[in-house]
């Protein structure tokens, strides 16, 4: 059995998995990222968490075929350099070299070169994981849209990660869906992220509460600071007009953005992920109706399928573990 290591380097946690050739995570290790701090200290803890994962799997680092790491920001998979990551404070950071030099010290192998280390954007790695072992495993043209604090994306074309010539591709949240609309942190106005992120949903819910003091939104969440992405959906299910208004608007904006993505890439499968996807049919059924009505297609049997990402945080680990396939 061959083992590869996948590392999901996040702003909060460093999650490491030893993944076998059947995409099973057979060992895990984790540490807090503890930002901000120097890149060398982060690399030290990546190695430490990897050691924990190997111990959990009952293997040594010398039994590992490759190591892949998904990181926030833009990463040059050819050089192993993280071009820029505001979350981590990386700026042209040679993450491959930082890790390689440390892993070599752990290795008992007499060979000069340690196993190959691959670096990729974390959203791309997660999309790749969903294609390999998740909700899109039967397809090789896939787009994954993650609805969280922002709106992230990963694009797979013919089984390969697409990130543009400069590794800044797949910023799907920064496609404008309303000209001169809501301001976005990227500096533009009207971006999908400003309407379809969990942050945007929470903001719209709070605004609805302030407009309607009799709304059931207040019964569900008596303190406006406790609003979350589920609040409006809960109110809608209780028959609340304000809650329904928030949900309807949110879905219409999200649907607009998803149709734009479909019309651009025509993937076999479009997956959405994030906490709001726990709403299930309350979210997906109206989205499917919008996509069926508005997307450009020749016939129903050639239309993009909508699905929900199913691997959760493991998608990034599994996708990272198999990044070596991108170089084959």
Same CATH topology for 3-128+314-327 and 139-308: the answer is: yes
Average pLDDT on 112-119 reads 80
Q: In the 3-class helix/strand/coil scheme, how is 64-104 assigned residue by residue?
A: EEEEEEEECCEEECCCCEEEEECCCCEEEEEHHHHHHHHHH
- Enter the pTM of the model: 0.89
For position 112, what pLDDT does the model report?
55
| Domain 139-308, CATH | 3.30.420.40
The structural architecture, per CATH, of the domain 3-128+314-327 is: 2-Layer Sandwich (3.30)
User: What pLDDT, in 10s, does the model give residues 17-72?
Assistant: 999 999 999 999 999 999 999 999 999 999 999 999 999 999 999 999 999 999 99
Contact in structure between 81 and 94 (CB atoms under 8 Å): yes
Domain residue spans in the chain? 3-128+314-327, 139-308
Q: What is the DSSP string of 169-187?
A: ---GGGSBSSTT-SB-TTS
Predicted confidence band of residue 119 (pLDDT cuts 50, 70, 90): very high
């Amino acid at each position: 059995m061959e083992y590869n290591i996948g590392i999901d380097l996040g702003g909060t946690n460093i999650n490491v998995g030893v993944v076998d050739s059947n995409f099973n995570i057979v060992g895990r290790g984790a540490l807090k990222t503890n930002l901000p701090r120097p890149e060398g200290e982060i690399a030290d803890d990546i190695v430490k968490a990897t050691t924990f994962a190997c111990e959990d799997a009952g293997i040594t680092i010398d039994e590992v075929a490759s190591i892949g790491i998904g990181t926030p920001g833009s990463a040059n998979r050819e050089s192993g350099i993280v071009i820029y990551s505001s979350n981590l404070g990386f700026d042209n950071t040679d993450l491959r070299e930082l890790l390689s030099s440390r892993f070599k010290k752990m290795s008992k192998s007499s060979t000069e070169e340690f196993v190959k280390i691959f670096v990729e954007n974390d959203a791309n790695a997660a999309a790749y994981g969903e294609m390999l072992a998740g909700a899109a495993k039967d397809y090789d043209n896939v787009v994954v849209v993650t609805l969280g604090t922002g709106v992230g994306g990963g694009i797979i074309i013919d089984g390969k990660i697409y990130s543009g010539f400069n590794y800044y591709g797949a910023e799907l949240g920064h496609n404008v869906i309303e000209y001169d609309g809501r301001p976005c942190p990227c500096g533009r106005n009207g971006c999908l992220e400003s309407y379809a992120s969990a942050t945007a949903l929470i903001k719209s819910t709070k605004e609805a509460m302030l407009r309607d003091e009799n709304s059931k939104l207040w019964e569900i969440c008596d303190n406006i600071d406790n609003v979350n992405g589920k609040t409006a959906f809960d109110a809608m299910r209780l028959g609340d007009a304000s809650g329904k208004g928030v949900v309807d608007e949110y879905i219409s904006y999200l649907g607009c953005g998803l149709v734009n993505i479909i019309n651009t890439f025509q993937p076999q499968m479009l997956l959405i992920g994030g906490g709001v996807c726990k709403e299930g049919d309350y979210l997906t059924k109206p989205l499917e109706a919008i996509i069926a009505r508005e997307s450009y297609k020749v016939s129903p049997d050639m239309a993009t399928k909508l699905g929900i990402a199913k691997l959760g945080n493991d998608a990034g680990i599994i996708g990272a573990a198999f990044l070596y396939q991108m170089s084959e």
